[in-house]
Structure 1
Amino acid sequence: MVNFIKVQEKLLHVLARQAGLRLQPVEVEPGTVMSFWVPKGKATAEENLSVIDAENLTKTSNKSREMMKKKDDQRPAVVLVHGFAFDGLYTWQFQIGALAKSYDLYVPDLLFFGLSQTSSTDRSVRFQADCMIAALMWLGVEKCTVVGFSYGGFVAFKMAEIKPDMVHSLVISGSLVARTESKSKPMLESLGRKSFAELLLPETVEGLKALLSSGSYRKFWLPNFIYKDFLEVMFSHRKERAELLEAMIVNNNDVSLPNFSQKILLLWGDNDSFFRVQLAKDMKECVNNFHLYRISLCIVSLKDAALTTEKLLFLKFMFLIQQTM
């Protein structure tokens, strides 16, 4: 029987290629491979790549990597880091086409998402960030703006802390610098869940509906077989992902806000049920160079306008990225 999400996945690959991106695996260390969609001119892997085999990974010579670094047509680099529910291409499918016209776009799959994998037992946000930095360096990226959504925002913040000379600026949506025990408990209570794994790693159609309903401002209807297809494709590596969620929560006494040197823009929705807008306000007060852009959907919804709400939000998103350059 046809899995419609797998069909959609193939279509997204076609759209990404039409936008000038190619799938590129990067072996960060033995046993750890990260999958990226990168600008065509920066890719070295075979074009029909669909599965990463760490043992037979396509490797680039030092000479080839130096050639990538020396290209004189490089545009500003933007890295889009996905959240916890979906992989990179699925998360950013509506932004890739437009952003790729103006920027060198890099769309990774974090470890245990998409085609990225590791034999390491380290599940920390720090390890994800270290692997991201190493992969971007391998790809010849020297400076970039990192856009992080949800879990990807935690990784983006950590990247900015570790490698400020690479991460020039950040655009963050629905995320925090760190998820502490004190913030996690009320968040779970408001969502009516005992653990984040219970919500973010659904095993049933009803569980997936609850996740998508909690994470979406607009409610939508899909037939149950689509939800079943989603569960089959998008929620692999359940054990490892549950460990990622556990590793995110840090003790209140172990948290200290880094002294970020980058421009950091927080893009928030007034109706975010996961990360309330007050959390963004609190972050802004703690770090002077944070700039909070609140987007209220009811304000940008224009009944008679030619631009749809989604287009208006995207134009705002493009503006935010441009402001960080």
Structure 2
Amino acid sequence: MVSEMLLSQQTSCGRHPRFARTTWADDVMLFVTSFLECEFLAPAFDEAGEPRGPRLQPTVKKLPTGPIEEPTSPDWTRRSNATEGMPRWLSFTVFRDRCHRRAFLAAGLRPSATALADGATVHCWVPARPDPSRSPLLLLHGFGATAIWQWSAHLRPLLGAGFDLYVPDLLFFGVSAAPGPDRSESYQAQCIMAAMEAAGVRRFGLVGVSYGGFVAYRMAAMYPTAVERVVLCCAGVCLEERDLAAGLFVVSDLREAIEILLPQRPEKLRQLVRLSFVRPQLVMPSVFLRDYIQVMCKDYVKEKTELIQAVFNERKHSDLPKINQPTLIFWGEQDQIFPLELGHRLQRHLGDNSQLAVISNAGHAVNLEKPKELCEHIIAFFLDSPQGSHNGQDVPSPNSQKNINFNQD
């Protein structure tokens, strides 16, 4: 979620847990630390945002589906929206973004770009040296910041457990985009699947958070032989359009939901933070919120609005296909964006092939509030099995209990 900048217990480069933030003064201290750490302690960056030294070029995978044009080399650091009121070199968000990228590079991932025949481009972080003995795991982010903001806290535990990670930006996030009008989850799924095939990955595990869970569910339904198992984190795929008017959500109409999910003003970003976290930061200075909005929330506003509209418009539970892969449903007990009722609804829809893990003292941003718990569940679900190979084989969940409640302090 967008509020990761404000409330994540991870630091800008993921190395100093002592800088967990609780006040605006801590934000200032972390900004200074980020500046020093990224500009002086880490290898320097050039004006284009690339590390000085050998230039890291995007890899373009061509698919055998028709003529494909080479995409323009992406701006990996997303500097195009440098803040209007704050110089780029003073932007907290720009430095935070830079440090997240450093974390991905340090973890052995590299950026790649897949150009599709219809003109779409999918940006994805892939292993610099893929290892066939490791389990491929695809991580799909939700609305808010780009993939690196939402997954950097999970890299080391998942890599250490033996996964090869593939972390794309969904269409209209980061530098992934498409020229056509299709805003459906199915089209997102097709593009991500094409990127995985271009990377040479034919079978993989799949984790989707919030909107990424919608895309993950659709991928599992469309590509059952490719997707081994699925983790859906606070993904309200069982919602119906009528749920808005019925009072299931904190908002009653789609326009209000869009204003919160795509914040363009500090007060809307504050509202999103407070809805997403159980223990939101009490003081959120407008200078940091405006900086974040300008850098992270100004691209593809029209297209993202259409993505949200496509999720809700004429959606009916009865139209949702039933996926057959073993599925872990991971939910924050106090989720105010997609209430827990949607998690129970999804488990009833999937039946015995699913289990629901409910995390206490966590909200919609459970992946950021409880990253350790999420990683532990992912590792247990995909790897900790009494049966043999997990790579390319369906294996049962290590926990036969279907409903699990985890009390977290």
Please tell me the TM-score bracket, short chain as reference. Answer: 0.7 to 0.9
Cα distance change of structure 1 residues 188 and 177 upon mapping to structure 2, 3 Å threshold = closer
2:238/2:346 contact within 8 Å kept: no
2:332/2:358 contact within 8 Å kept: yes
Unaligned runs of 5+ in 1: 43-70, 299-307
Tell me the percent identity. 30
Query: How many angstroms does 1:108 deviate by?
Result: 0.5
User: Over the residues paired in the alignment, what is the CA RMSD in angstroms?
Assistant: 2.2
**Which residue of structure 2 aligns with residue 15 of structure 1?**
103
Structure 1 window deviating more from structure 2 (129-138 vs 95-104): it is 95-104
The number of equivalent residue pairs is: 287
Q: Which of 301, 326, 329 in structure 2 is aligned with 1:238?
A: 301
Residue 32 (structure 1) aligned with residue 94 (structure 2):
no
**Which residue of structure 2 aligns with residue 174 of structure 1?**
234
Higher-strand-fraction structure: 1
SS in 1 for 2:321: coil
For 1:205 and 1:34, locate their aligned partners in 2 and report how far apart those are by CA, in whole Å. 30
**Which residue of structure 2 aligns with residue 290 of structure 1?**
354
Structure 1 window deviating more from structure 2 (188-197 vs 104-113): it is 188-197
| Larger-gyration structure (1/2) | 2
Residue 130 (structure 1) aligned with residue 190 (structure 2):
yes
**Which residue of structure 2 aligns with residue 197 of structure 1?**
258
Amino acid across the alignment from 1:198: E
Q: Which of 201, 220, 242 in structure 2 is aligned with 1:141?
A: 201
Higher-helix-fraction structure: 1
Q: Normalising to structure 1: TM-score of the pair?
A: 0.82
Amino acid across the alignment from 2:263: P
2:136/2:164 contact within 8 Å kept: yes
**Which residue of structure 1 aligns with residue 340 of structure 2?**
277
**Which residue of structure 2 aligns with residue 248 of structure 1?**
311
1:154/1:178 contact within 8 Å kept: no
Q: Which of 119, 132, 150 in structure 1 is aligned with 2:210?
A: 150
Structure 1 window deviating more from structure 2 (246-255 vs 217-226): it is 246-255
1:149/1:175 contact within 8 Å kept: yes
Unaligned runs of 5+ in 2: 1-86, 363-368, 391-409
Cα distance change of structure 1 residues 27 and 158 upon mapping to structure 2, 3 Å threshold = same
For 1:260 and 1:244, locate their aligned partners in 2 and report how far apart those are by CA, in whole Å. 22
Deviations 1:182-236 (A, max 9, x none): 2343467524665221111111111111111111122113322211111012111
Structure 1 window deviating more from structure 2 (220-229 vs 182-191): it is 182-191
2:208/2:233 contact within 8 Å kept: yes
Residue 78 (structure 1) aligned with residue 140 (structure 2):
no
For 2:163 and 2:246, locate their aligned partners in 1 and report how far apart those are by CA, in whole Å. 39
SS in 2 for 1:172: strand
Q: Normalising to structure 2: TM-score of the pair?
A: 0.66
Deviations 1:109-166 (A, max 9, x none): 0000011011111111111011011111111111111110110000000000000111
2:134/2:163 contact within 8 Å kept: yes
Amino acid across the alignment from 2:214: F
For 1:310 and 1:270, locate their aligned partners in 2 and report how far apart those are by CA, in whole Å. 15
Amino acid across the alignment from 1:224: S
Residue 161 (structure 1) aligned with residue 221 (structure 2):
yes
1:187/1:274 contact within 8 Å kept: no
